[in-house]
Copies of this chain bind each other. A is one copy, B any other.
Amino acid sequence: MSLQECDTIVSASNAILDGYTDTDVAIAIRDGLIADLGKKGDVIAKWQSKNELDLGRALLMPGLINAHTHVPMTFLRGFADDLPLMDWLTKHIFPVEAHLTNRIVALGARLGMYEMMRGGTTGFVDSYLLEANVLEEADKMGMRCVAGEAVFAFPSPAYPNWEAAADLYRAQAEKYRNHSRIKLCMMPHSVYTTSDDILRQSMELAQELDIMYHIHLSESAGEVAQSKELHQGMRPVEYAKSLGLLTNRSIFAHMVDLTDQELDWVAESGAQIVHNPVSNLKLASGIAPVADMVSKRISVAIGTDGAASNNSLDMFESMKLAAILAKGAMKDATVIPAEMAFKMATQEGARAMMKPDVGVLKIGAPADMIALDLNEPNVVPLYNEISHAVYASNAKDCILTMVEGKVLYQNGTYADGLYAETVAEMQDLVQWARSKANSL
């Protein structure tokens, strides 16, 4: 039998594959896709490759997907903590954001992507101001990214009004139409920062462009109170439902303050939820009823939210917290077992990206994968790979991050060679940001 050719063969002592784990595994990659996988001996016997990466004692697994973040906000990491939400936003975050530039957004996005690839995240769903910069940097840096300009009812640096925002969306959707890694997502910020018309029209545009519709919803008790006051007693989910926003292309971020009826509506609609446990705790929004969501068969993905309210973009941390917080809140150790938290951080994240093949290592899927170092003390001994990935691993155990078969990060080195200058330029922003906050 003659050998088939592939680009790379990655092998390791352990792997989490499509619903099962295996030892002594190799994965053959061709044209960015997984061409074959199996026992190392079998794969080597069938494939000839230009590059061989033998990782030794390591755990190969799908890259984690950060299904809700604002990646440029790394530039405000640790800028203001431990404050009530409205003080935090109006006295600290907004005054600095009022001076945003394309360069700052690009720089924040670059830093956040370095942090994510360093920590085993291969894809992310993002919205912020001047988001074109995030799309461009993700394209250059090789990460998988689904993103859209944050849509508000008031002017933003990227558009004066909804019509201009819609034009921006159409142009960007066209620009990235055939891109395998980058995709648009409709990103109305929230029901409380938009309007009936914008919410409806943005849903129509999402349908026209065939993209997901991703919105912050029912994040806090304050949002619920405001909604009831402004919208004839309707809570945010009911209000969103009245506007036709509960669809199977809808993704609701946070969803902390909910009634059982609201969860039933979401379940019936086929909409998805993104759970952001770290941010919900740090901003004191509360604890989302994730066990209830799952028992109603709602798809739940996991996000870190932005670094200004987390303060990291660590999906391993958020995956573990998603699993344990639900147990503590429900006083039931059996809810959100490790396998489910793992699925939320991988396959359910892939659904949020409209890229269902990503999130599982299987033949034909894009080679978006990572490897964890199994020589570190926190993952010894090894009884169960998924338990270790969820409960014992640390983002920094990641030694290899690959998207579409291309190495983005390996053993301390970022492939694009621009890490040091990005860090230096970002550090220089500290004085600038402080001066903008102090100028209030």
A284/B82 in contact, CB under 8 A: no
Q: List chain B residues, Cβ under 8 A from A427.
A: 380-382
Q: A337-B81, A380-B427, A394-B394 are in contact. Are A282 and B324 (CB under 8 A)?
A: yes
* A228 CA to B334 CA, complexed, in Å: 26
Tell me, yes or no, whether A205 is within 8 Å of chain B by CB.
no
B317/A384 in contact, CB under 8 A: no
Contact partner, A324, options B85, B115, B281, Cβ 8 Å? B281
Q: A82-B334, A391-B81 are in contact. Are A286 and B375 (CB under 8 A)?
A: no
* A382 CA to B76 CA, complexed, in Å: 9
* A285 CA to B324 CA, complexed, in Å: 11
* A275 CA to B284 CA, complexed, in Å: 19
B377/A328 in contact, CB under 8 A: no
Name the CB-closest residue of B to A81.
B387
* A363 CA to B94 CA, complexed, in Å: 42
Please tell me which stretch of A162-170, A183-191, A308-316 contacts chain B, meaning at least 4 of its Cβ atoms lie within 8 angstroms of it. Answer: A308-316
Name the CB-closest residue of B to A84.
B333
Q: List chain B residues, Cβ under 8 A from A100.
A: none
Tell me, yes or no, whether A418 is within 8 Å of chain B by CB.
no
Most B-side CB within 10 Å, residue of A377, A380, A387, A391: A377
Contact partner, A115, options B377, B383, B429, Cβ 8 Å? B377
Q: Mark A299-337, 1 if CB is under 8 A from B, else 0.
A: 000000001001111100100110111011111111001
The residues in A between 253 and 302 inclusive whose CB is less than 8 angstroms from any CB of B are 278, 280-287
Contact partner, A118, options B83, B325, B377, Cβ 8 Å? B377
A88/B313 in contact, CB under 8 A: no
User: Closest CB-CB distance, A90 to chain B, in whole Å?
Assistant: 14
User: Closest CB-CB distance, A121 to chain B, in whole Å?
Assistant: 12
User: Closest CB-CB distance, A126 to chain B, in whole Å?
Assistant: 16
The residues in A between 132 and 163 inclusive whose CB is less than 8 angstroms from any CB of B are none
Q: List chain B residues, Cβ under 8 A from A40.
A: none
Tell me, yes or no, whether A400 is within 8 Å of chain B by CB.
no
* A81 CA to B339 CA, complexed, in Å: 11
Q: A381-B427, A426-B381 are in contact. Are A82 and B331 (CB under 8 A)?
A: no
Q: A376-B118, A380-B423, A381-B427 are in contact. Are A387 and B287 (CB under 8 A)?
A: no
A287/B381 in contact, CB under 8 A: no
Q: List chain B residues, Cβ under 8 A from A307.
A: 392
* A314 CA to B434 CA, complexed, in Å: 32
* A14 CA to B78 CA, complexed, in Å: 16
Tell me how many chains of this kind the complex includes: 2
Contact partner, A311, options B78, B317, B329, B387, Cβ 8 Å? B387
User: Closest CB-CB distance, A84 to chain B, in whole Å?
Assistant: 5
* A320 CA to B395 CA, complexed, in Å: 15
Q: List chain B residues, Cβ under 8 A from A310.
A: 391
User: Closest CB-CB distance, A107 to chain B, in whole Å?
Assistant: 10
Tell me, yes or no, whether A406 is within 8 Å of chain B by CB.
no
A378/B284 in contact, CB under 8 A: no
The residues in A between 355 and 414 inclusive whose CB is less than 8 angstroms from any CB of B are 375-378, 380-384, 387-388, 391-392, 394-397
Name the CB-closest residue of B to A279.
B324
Q: List chain B residues, Cβ under 8 A from A381.
A: 74-75, 77-78, 426-427, 429-430
A324/B278 in contact, CB under 8 A: yes
Q: List chain B residues, Cβ under 8 A from A284.
A: 327-328, 330-333
Q: List chain B residues, Cβ under 8 A from A380.
A: 74, 77, 111, 423, 426-427
Most B-side CB within 10 Å, residue of A325, A337, A397: A325
Q: List chain B residues, Cβ under 8 A from A123.
A: none
Q: List chain B residues, Cβ under 8 A from A419.
A: 377
Q: List chain B residues, Cβ under 8 A from A376.
A: 118, 396
A-B contacts, 7 of them at CB < 8 A, read A74-B381, A81-B387, A118-B377, A118-B378, A119-B394, A283-B327, A396-B397
Supplied contacts A284-B333, A312-B394, 6 more A-B pairs, CB within 8 Å = A77-B383, A84-B332, A280-B328, A282-B324, A282-B327, A282-B391
8 shortest A-B CB distances, which residue pairs? A396-B396, A281-B328, A82-B337, A115-B377, A281-B324, A78-B387, A284-B333, A311-B391
